[in-house]
Amino acid sequence: MRTPGRPTTQQDEARKQRWENSYSNKDSSDLSWYQPHLELSLKLIERTGSGKAARIIDVGAGSSTLVDDLLMAGYRRVTALDISLKAIEGSKARLGAKAKHVTWIEGDIERVELPPAHFDIWHDRAVFHFLTSDEGRKRYVNVAKTSLKSDGHLIIGTFAQEGPTRCSGMDVIRYSAHSITAEFGEGFELVESAGETHRTPYDAEQKFMYFRFIRRH
Ligand SMILES: C[S@@+](CC[C@H](N)C(=O)[O-])C[C@H]1O[C@@H](n2cnc3c(N)ncnc32)[C@H](O)[C@@H]1O
């Protein structure tokens, strides 16, 4: 499904095309961010203590196996959103008949409109750090703020301060607990953070930080 949102600009189209190209030019397991399973994300989702009926959205889900693992763990209200149709199609093909248990959204997180106070858990691994414009980050935070329920959880994995400055030919912003808290501002309480060293398929090390916030009104 494509969601209605703000009208797209040439810049938005270029952003979408860049990501479509990433998924067209390589197998999923050759992409620098590939992990067979998003172990730390799964652990942080479990640590929210939300039941299996929790509504979970994976923002910039790409072709990751998080949705497979969430279904396997018994979560039954999983949404996967990505700007790239190619990535979504790849995940659907991998899941086969199980794909119908996931709500799929082809959309740009800077543009989509999601239902208000709807999700219990928002998950993002390696998407927010690509948002280098103040305006784009403000829009992202606003969508998260609006679509998360009160006391819902926001789990976000970004490059750490010792992480790379660029990825896939694009600039990124690296975060600490202090700087990410400043981005999300009032309305989000940081409850835990954890570091991870990701080893890319090309054997390079990338330092990540994961943060879990609770949406407070
Ligand atoms: C580095 S990949 C991470 C994919 C996945 N989260 C993982 O951990 O394997 C970033 C993903 O975010 C998607 N993406 C980038 N910008 C986006 C945006 N503005 N809205 C939605 N998805 C976006 C890309 O298509 C890509 O799948």
- Taking the CA of residue 35 as reference, the ligand 1 atom at the shortest distance is 9
The residue whose C-alpha atom lies closest to atom 7 belonging to ligand 1 is 64
C-alpha separations of 94 from 2, 28, 125, 142 in Å: 21, 11, 20, 32
Which phi and psi angles does 18 have, rounded to 5°?
Answer: -60, -45
Structural tokens at position 80: 């996967």
126 lines ligand 1 (CB under 6 A): yes
| Paired tokens of 198 | 């990701």
Specify the pLDDT at position 170. 94
Measured distance CA(105)–CA(166) in Å, rounded: 27
- Residue to substitute in 82, 133, 173 for testing ligand 1 pocket (most ligand atoms within 8 angstroms of CB): 82
Would you state the pLDDT for residue 106?
Answer: 97
Cα 150 to middle of ligand 1, angstroms: 25
121 CA to middle of ligand 1, Å?
17
Chunked mean pLDDT (size 10), the chain, 217 residues: 67 94 92 97 98 98 98 98 97 98 97 96 98 97 98 98 95 98 96 98 96 95
Amino acid residing at 28:
S
Of 208, 216, 140, nearest in space to 174 by CA: 208
- Rounded to the nearest angstrom, the gap between the alpha carbon of residue 164 and the centroid of all alpha carbons in its chain is 18
pLDDT of amino acid 1: 57
pLDDT attached to residue 14: 93
- Residue 181: its pLDDT value, please? 98
Instruction: Give the nearest ligand 1 atom to 157 CA.
Output: 8
Nearest atom of ligand 1 to the alpha carbon of 32: 1
Q: What are phi and psi of 178, to 5 degrees?
A: -65, -50
pLDDT, position 3: 58
- Give the per-residue pLDDT at 36: 97
What residue type is 175 in one-letter code? Answer: Y
Please work out whether the CB of residue 108 comes within 6 Å of at least one atom of ligand 1: yes
